[in-house]
Amino acid sequence: MQQALQHLVNGTILGGTYALLGIGLTLIFGVMRVVNFTHGELYAFGAYMAYGLVALLRLDFYLSLLLATLLGTALGAAIELLLLRPLRRADIDSVMLAMIGAALVLQNANMWAWGGVAKLVPSPFAGTPLVFGPVSVMPLRLFVLGISCALLVGFWLLLERTRAGIAMRATFQDAETASLMGVRVGWVSTATFAIGSGLAAAAGALLGPVFMVSPTMGDLVGLKAFAIVILGGLGNLPGAVIGGFALGYVEEFGGGFLSTEYRDAFGFLLIILVLAVRPQGLVALKERVG
Amino acid sequence: MSALLGWGFVAAMAALPLVMPDPYLLAVLTSAGIFIIGAISLNLLLGYTGQLSLGHAAFFGLGAYASALTSLGFDIGIGFGHRLRLEPQPVAVGFLAAILVSGCFGWLLGRLAFRIRGAYFVIITICFAQVLRMVALNWVELTQGPMALVGIPPFALWLPGRGVVELYAKNQTYWLVLGVAVLAFLVVRQIVHSRIGRALVALRENETLARSVGIRVTHYLVIATVVSAAIAGAAGSLFAHYVRIVDPDVFLFIYTVTMVIMVITGGKGTLWGPVVGGLIFGPLPDMLRGSAPPEAQWIAYGLAMILLVMFLPRGIVPAVAGWLPARRAAAPLPAPAPSPVQGGAG
């Protein structure tokens, strides 16, 4: 029971960052109909930027996280303008191939720039865990959870309460009608891709001090982001948050009680299972894609 | 491309070791040939059914493991105190096992995955390869995990008058790979030109219409997946006995990407596309090895993929066929136009 409580806490913390990853990916799919294979690489980019700023440039930890997120946002905007905008009229498969190409470039650029050795982002938090009765948690992880939740709430406010958010949601529902209503769909796409990428980079920068940063980590994380999004249904925002926490719990409990070695495989098995049984996702009511 | 030209090309490739017996060149072409076989099989799915299958390395890796394990033998516990044992078998049995195992998994994935389309299909195929990689990494009793399967015997063929001969020499493996490649090409051509192939193209172009005229869409898609997986398994088997070491990295996405790049460069949905693309991208890693780090090679692959999608979306073979108006009658099937089935957005 105590062990279960501990796993619940760990799963929640992991789930928060997974939700950040998932929400960016699902927003990009919903607004732009783009299957974003670079998402995991932006996560890696965020983590490496955090490492570079904290460990090499010796900037303030919190400032570095913010800068890493902003740099990720900028990179996302650049990808949208240079790659996706010219391919606006191409079919979904061609865009997928181009995005895979972009992911290859980003991943190997990381490998080239930083080398293959895993790095750890130094953090100012104490190394001793806080103990709350039966569970203990590292202060750093609590900070990660707090920031993830703050970003999720901030993102929700952006979507619900601002003009840009309304334009985004309108494009999400029906791009053509939105453009007839005067929404500049092109810029909404750029903003969406930039924000989604920024969220991925933020997740990477937040987890950089928790886990090791390595050049190929984007692969696994990218696939996990897909797992999260599929759990909730592609293009479903609340679904992505639920999917993020669901994957966090599945990994944490599966890793704790079933098998540590297959921890990372649970997510993929879950996707295959979900797609075989309920292709539209666990929470989505929308019809399947394609 | 006319049949005469095709056979002329095969004859030229077959004569190459006699004219230029350079072992380095033959080694490069042999490994390129193995991936060309993979690309030929992928083309059946990617080009003719229009399904972007990004887990093709799964079948390639399954074939490699099946073949290696059959020829090495294994002894594993299967629970409840029982053990499953296999004595080392001849390499030819391993080759057949590779085809069989990959084909079976192709059937499984086909049944499972073709209920869904578009982005979901792509993701399920990627996950399939990832799960297999995890199994290969963690089922140490069977696969040796990250320590890899080593000491895999080389290919052996029964030759008239000489009995069973192990193929150590570069030119012998080269001819073997060439032979399997020609076989794979002929199998795919046969399917494409048959009733099945026409059904596949029909559903690629317009699935709803194909369904409405009574084409059993899932049935044909599963057939295509099984054949494609089986050929990829054969390529994996060749890989295992050529490199003679198999580790879980054969399931890496990178291998799928290599095959995908070959297919789209040459021209998906054309019989010669994977061959042309494979002859360009197959030897590239070896040629770049001396002058640039491997990262640079993958960056070049990534950029090539982006540029191709932007500027030559149909690939080289259809483009060349278009430049030669006289040959147009003999040109391969037209490349897939963006159709609602493929586009799959709504």
- Judge: B303–A101 Cβ closer than 8 Å, yes or no: yes
A287 within a domain of the structure (yes/no)? no
CB atoms within 10 A of CB B304: 18
The distance of A133 to chain B (nearest Cα, Å) reads 35
CB atoms within 10 A of CB B285: 18
Q: What angle do CA B210, B332, B177 make, to 5 degrees?
A: 105
CB atoms within 10 A of CB B24: 9
Burial class (CB in 10 A: 0-12, 13-18, 19+), B66: buried
Q: Contacts for B193-201 with beta carbons within 8 Å, 24 or more apart?
A: B196/B220, B196/B223, B196/B224, B197/B48, B200/B48, B200/B49, B200/B224, B201/B48, B201/B269, B201/B333
ipTM for the predicted complex: 0.82
B264 CB neighbours in chain A (<8 A) are 97
A55 within a domain of the structure (yes/no)? yes
CA B264 to each of CA A61, B31, B50, B335: distance values in angstroms, whole numbers, following the listed order: 45, 19, 12, 10
- Judge: A98–B115 Cβ closer than 8 Å, yes or no: no
A152 within a domain of the structure (yes/no)? yes
Select the residue of A94, A219, A262 nearest B309 (Cβ to Cβ): A94
Locate the domains of chain B by residue range: 3-339
Supply the mean pLDDT for chain B.
81
CA dist., res. B194 & res. B198, Å (int): 6
| Residue in the block written with tokens 């096992």 | B97
Write the pLDDT tens digit of every residue in B208-231: 888 788 788 788 888 888 999 999
The distance of A222 to chain B (nearest Cα, Å) reads 11
- Judge: B134–A289 Cβ closer than 8 Å, yes or no: no
Q: Is A289 on the interface with B (CB under 8 A)?
A: yes
Q: Check: CB of residue B26 under 8 Å from CB of residue B170.
A: yes
A265 CB neighbours in chain B (<8 A) are 130-131, 134-135
pLDDT for A67: 94
A288 within a domain of the structure (yes/no)? no
Tell me the three state secondary structure of residue B75.
strand
Q: Which residues pair with B164 in a beta bridge?
A: B158
Q: Check: CB of residue B30 under 8 Å from CB of residue B173.
A: yes
Hey, what CATH topology would domain B3-339 get? Answer: ABC transporter involved in vitamin B12 uptake, BtuC (1.10.3470)
Q: Check: CB of residue B235 under 8 Å from CB of residue B113.
A: no
Rounded percentage of chain A residues whose pLDDT exceeds 70: 96
A288 CB neighbours in chain B (<8 A) are 116-117, 120
Select the residue of A259, A261, A272 nearest B124 (Cβ to Cβ): A272
Cβ neighbors of A196 (< 8 A, separation 6 or more) are A23, A24, A25, A27, A28, A36, A39, A76
CA dist., res. B110 & res. B209, Å (int): 21
Write the pLDDT tens digit of every residue in A207-222: 888 888 888 888 888 8
What count of CB pairs under 8 Å joins A to B?
149
- Judge: B120–A289 Cβ closer than 8 Å, yes or no: yes
A286 within a domain of the structure (yes/no)? no
CA dist., res. A80 & res. A72, Å (int): 12
Name the residue with higher pLDDT: A95 or B21: A95
A221 CB neighbours in chain B (<8 A) are none
Q: Find the closest chain B residue to A225 by CA distance.
A: B123
The mean pLDDT value for A33-45 works out to 90
- Judge: A90–B298 Cβ closer than 8 Å, yes or no: no
The mean pLDDT value for B23-30 works out to 85
CATH number of the CATH domain containing A21 = 1.10.3470
Q: How many domains does chain A have?
A: 1
CA dist., res. B296 & res. A207, Å (int): 28
CA B292 to each of CA A111, A112, A126, A148, B287: distance values in angstroms, whole numbers, following the listed order: 14, 11, 43, 40, 9
The distance of B255 to chain A (nearest Cα, Å) reads 12
DSSP calls for B31-66: HHHHHHHHHHHHHIIIIII------HHHHHHHHHHH
- Segments forming the whole domain that contains residue A96: 2-277
